[in-house]
Structure 1
Amino acid sequence: MSRLQNKAVIITGGAGGIGAGMAKAMVKEGANVLIVDVNEEAGAKVLAELREFSPKSEFLQFDLMKHDELHKIVDFAVEKFGRLDVLVNNAHVSRQIMFEETKQEHFDLSFGTGFYPTFYLMQAALPHLKETKGNIINFASGAGISGQKTQTAYAAAKEAIRGMTRVVANEVAQYGVTVNIISPMAMTEGVEKWKAAFPDMYEDTLSKVPLGRFGDPEQDIGRVAVFLASEDSKYMTGQTFMVDGGVNMRP
């Protein structure tokens, strides 16, 4: 039997990049996945791929900045699938800018699309996840862990997510719910554009990756997400998994 057979999964930012990679990896393991994204065209394209493996999978166009309506995502998933087993808070938008030029608006964007959706979706999902002894997968970044330049607002939001994740993991462990974090490095559409625009910077970054390459959204990041969504990871919670080719080695 597949590792995620009939599990119901929500993935935000699922219409491209790491989100789409995780969705593809999960449906191939038997999951029914709801991908949530603001990009309707990209979402429809990814959904067509998912349905080759999981005819019940769905796409929901949604603006995560509508914080008071985020519960509707969970309601939609439960209505379609009859249950909820896994919540993946992947979506996050931010701007690269030096600290001295950073303004309130940059924090509003980063926290508004990353931290607050993670907070509200976890709150909405937990009653259902308690019933299934499910899993939450949140996302961190090397930007916060290593203090990357130009990433003030993004790093702050990602580290806030890490702190909140540990608290939630501690509180909901009694219900059999696990809450973990992936900190990834992957070759996404955005990285491809960055590579074309700044080839020297790309090569410099690549030279610092011990494993010598950027990860694949499905085969590298997606497979770890499958593990964290499966029964194989049930004795692990509150942890940050560095899926970054060894860039940020931590004790």
Structure 2
Amino acid sequence: MKLKNKVAIITGGAGGIGRGIGMAFVKEGATVAIVDLDKESGERVLKELQEYSPDSIFIQQDLSKRDELPSIVEKVADAFGKIDILVNNAHASKMASIEKTTQKDLDLSFNTGFYPTFYLMQAALPYLKETKGKIINFSSGAGIEGHPNQGPYAAAKEAIRGISRVAANEFGQFGINVNIISPIAKSEGIMEWAENNPEIYDNMLKGIPMGRIGEVEEDIGRVAVFLASKDSDYITGQTLMVDGGSIKLR
């Protein structure tokens, strides 16, 4: 029970990696607030979480509504009296070459990925100071390696990595850890992409030394548990490549 009595916020928690992290957290004793725009999926996942953590909650929220982001933190703090862990997982994006990328494409990626990450860190900071909490943000190999046709996504993900390193330097004095996961996992989005791009998917699989796509709970969720627990107290500002060895950072 590495996260016993801990309170966590997980954005994009109604499916994919967010759901996997939520399930891993509640099995380790955490109370979880999942945040998502999809009400139906959010309520379904909440029932799964409540089998282990009856007090966990679902907050329906459009993360692109920047002025409403602090209300997420306030709702969780009002409900539980504290916040120990913030997981900024949500992100929506559209694939396009740089030549064909529009301002709308860029806005979608930054408004659902980078800006919520930034403003939720800012809003949660007073509470995380009190608990010496943990922040887990998400990057992607698309940004680290510069995958074609993923300009908006890559740009926002690398912006998240940049602000996470700044946050690690600024928040360390408060005992707050800020780390980044860069995953490859069987999320709904990845599997839909794989179905539409079988040749590219097969090539990607060949580039994974472990020879498989990660499981959202067992692989990604367990690393998130580590980063949210005391086991990672002396790690901050790092990008953990939870991708089966696809990218080896130096």
Q: What secondary structure sits across from 1:73 in the alignment?
A: helix
What is the 5 A alignment of 1:6-21? 6-21=5-20
Are residue 157 (structure 1) and residue 139 (structure 2) matched?
no
In structure 1, give the amino acid aligned to 2:2.
R
Aligned residues: 250
Superposed displacement of residue 192, structure 1:
2.0
Secondary structure of 2:178 counterpart? strand
* Structure 2: tracts of 5 or more residues without a match: none
Query: Which deviates more, 199-208 or 23-32?
Result: 199-208
Tell me which amino acid in the other structure corresponds to 1:208. G
Which structure 1 segments of 5+ residues have no match?
none
**Inter-partner Cα distance in structure 2 for 1:153 and 1:196:** 22
**Residue deviations 1:95-134 (CA, integer Å, cap 9, x gap):** 1011111121111111110000011100000000000000
Residues 134-149 of structure 1: pairs in structure 2 closer than 5 A:
134-149=133-148
Name the structure 1 match of 2:97.
98
Distance 1:237 1:194 in 2: 32
1:234 matched to which residue of 2? 233
- Which residue identity lines up with residue 243 of structure 1 in the other structure? V
Could you tell me how far apart the structure 1 residues matched to 2:190 and 2:108 are? 20
Q: What is the aligned partner in structure 1 of residue 249 from structure 2?
A: 250
Letter in 2 for 1:23: G
TM-score under structure 1 length normalisation: 0.98
Matched with 1:211 is 210
TM-score by length of 2: 0.99
Q: Deviations over 1:12-37 (max 9, x none)?
A: 00000000000000000000000000
Q: Cα RMSD over matched residues?
A: 0.7
Distance apart, 1:193 and its partner CA: 1.8
The equivalent residue for 1:41 is: 40
Give me the identity figure in percent.
60
Partner SS for 1:210? coil
Residue type matched to 2:173 in 1?
Q
3-state secondary structure, aligned to 1:35: strand
Partners in 1 of 2:175 and 2:190 — Cα distance? 37
Higher mean displacement: 102-111 or 84-93: 102-111
Residue 200 of structure 2 aligns to a residue whose secondary structure is helix
Residues 1-251 of structure 1 aligned to structure 2 (within 5 Å): 2-251=1-250
SS of corresponding position for 1:14: coil
Question: Deviation at 1:198?
Answer: 2.3
Aligned equivalents of 1:3, 1:239: Cα separation in 2 = 21
Which piece of structure 1 moves more, 78-87 or 27-36? 78-87
**What SS class does the counterpart of residue 70 from structure 1 fall into?**
helix
Could you tell me how far apart the structure 2 residues matched to 1:243 and 1:129 are?
A: 25
Q: Where does structure 1 differ by over 3 angstroms across 4 or more consecutive aligned residues?
A: none
Task: Give distance in 2, aligned partners of 1:239 and 1:205.
Answer: 24
